[in-house]
Structure 1
């Protein structure tokens, strides 16, 4: 493996960074809102599953208890 001169390395890094397509402010905001919505939906889903499991276990325990 060939070693690279630090100056060449910095030039290569700058070249690669210039190829990056950065998201617009609108895209970042939209993605952020979507993440919050999905997190809320997942939280509601797991809360409902938790309530159903807890209710089912209470029914079973009162039946056998």
Structure 2
């Protein structure tokens, strides 16, 4: 449990010591993760675009409205 300290310098020292404990990803890991996110975002966009087009076509056939 964190102790209540009113000294901002002690707080900053604690933040710095906790930040030193963090295992930061390498540049390569960051690039790979970024590319994976971009690829999956593009795949999701293509999937939802195709789904929307199929549903619009079905609605047009069933109800005779749209486009």
Q: TM-score, normalised by structure 1?
A: 0.85
The equivalent residue for 1:32 is 34
Aligned length: 62
Following TM superposition, where does structure 1 have runs of at least 4 consecutive aligned residues deviating by more than 3 angstroms? none
Q: Unaligned 5+ residue runs, structure 2?
A: none
Structure with the bigger RCO (C-alpha within 8 Å, sep 6+) is 2
**Equivalent in 8, 11, 17 of residue 9 of structure 1:** 11
CA 1:61–1:2 in 2, change beyond 3 Å: closer, same or farther?
A: closer
Larger proportion of helix? 1
TM-score by length of 2: 0.82
